[in-house]
Amino acid sequence: MKFISTRGDAPSLNFEEVVLAGLAADGGLYVPETLPKFSKDEIASWSGLSYQELAFNIISPFVDGEIADADLKTIIAKAYQTFRHGAIAPLVQTGRNEWVLELFQGPTLAFKDFALQFLGHLLDYILDKRQQKVAVLGATSGDTGSAAIEGCRRCENIDIFILHPHNRVSEVQRRQMTTVLADNVVNVALEGNFDDCQNMVKASFRDQSFLPEGRQLVAVNSINWARIMAQIVYYFYSALSLGGPHKKVSFSVPTGNFGDIYAGYLAMQMGLPIEQLIIATNQNDILHRCISDNDHSRKSLSQSLAPSMDIMVSSNFERLLFDLYGRDGTEIKRLMNEFESGAMVLSDQALTDARKVFSSYRLDDQGMLSTIQQVFESTGYVLDPHTAIGVAAARENRKNDSTPLVCLATAHPAKFPEAVMKAEGLLEPDLPVHMQDLFSREERCVTLSNDLTAVHQFINQRLS
């Protein structure tokens, strides 16, 4: 299988190359030249498989034999062996035909563990085979960083640098990153917001001349195709648990960088019968404005109680646009240049096609707190702020009460105790046993200004 850039001016790559490349040389994102397609009968035959067995069936067509089946199965087994629940991604019912998919059973209590535990072991395998050392550079709005660090901390061939926005992540999120004292882990608090961190990562991938000789950057953000690929699996897994593929299932997804819900779109394209994909946003609502009003314009970023969604540049939206515009890289380049100037406007056809698949919803902090309180009062179940936005979006946007609706729970509520306790009647949620000493652990982090040259000099010094 070959992977091509959304902007059309970069060479096509094979699977191992695309994992190491991250961002394409032309600034675009890599996508498969063709997607594997599964019939209803084939999907139905997977009912009853373990999560790991299902992951192998879905991931192996993308790998296309570059990794031996036995080795790929070992990588997948290692990726999910540290998850706390035997089901890996258990479903919990929170309403009539409404389910929460708990994607926080991994070691860092967030859905990013599904992709980044897999990516860490995958990189370990590829780099060991190639006898190559790399520098991982990532930006995080809170959860990617700790999941990437946990996935890469034991990799002898990786030095990992994670940028997070200074004072704009929860204390639990920050400590999950900064208390990992491994020699190959470097945390940088950047004086800016998440978009500043993300822009710095993208600029660094475009020009890697600041690195010492023999080193290259590898992406852990969802610009890396392997992350998107790993997230496709839990859409199939949850749908099979609820009667798929013989009945359709809908999904509501808390959305910031568009990677998680894009994986659901891919699952649909690969043959999974999905009735609805609901984009759930907080007040940083560029994706909701785009789908509802064709308003994809930059506005000032607002700090919220759901900080992992405080994003105004949703990188993976470019991958969807590539399909909406007939996989025309020239058009995507024009659109992204338009957006760089402040706004982009979708064609009538592209917007119509997007609305056939996606609906969207916006919820502010007060609405989110009300949803946490309502769900707790009716079920005793505690939602984190991001998942609460997904549940509210599901309840406001569902088209068919007879279709199972799955809300993706992106994080454990204990990662956001300040937000949860603002909801009336709720106490501070407890951290799992393995993290209960988190607030007494030593931290290690450096604060840098939002200056590309300064960050590059810092990275170069650490690697030289």
Distances (CA, A) of 38 to 46, 244, 394: 11, 13, 27
Q: For residue 68, which of 141, 126, 116 has the smallest C-alpha distance? A: 126
* Architecture, CATH, for domain 80-108+225-422: 3-Layer(aba) Sandwich (3.40)
Residue 141's SS3 state is coil
- Provide the pLDDT for residue 425: 87
Mean pLDDT across 162-182: 95
Inter-residue contact 156 to 127 (CB < 8 Å): no
Half-sphere exposure of 312 (CA within 13 A, CB side): 19
- Provide the pLDDT for residue 463: 95
> pTM for the complete prediction?
0.94
- Among the residues of 47-170, which ranges form H helices? 51-63, 69-80, 112-130, 143-152
Strand partners, 13: 3
pLDDT at 30 over 90: yes
Half-sphere exposure of 259 (CA within 13 A, CB side): 26
Of 37, 112, 248, 299, which is the active-site residue? 112
Q: Which helix (H) or strand (E) holds 172?
A: helix 171-178
Give the model confidence (pLDDT) of 375-429 as tens digits: 999 999 999 999 999 999 999 999 999 999 999 999 999 999 999 999 988 999 9
Give the model confidence (pLDDT) of 265-318 as tens digits: 999 999 999 999 999 999 999 999 999 999 999 999 999 999 999 999 999 999
Cis amide linkage into residue 245, ω under 30° from 0? yes
pLDDT band at 142 (very low <50, low <70, confident <90, very high): confident
Inter-residue contact 79 to 117 (CB < 8 Å): yes
CA distance 92 to 52: 20
Known catalytic membership, residue 299: no
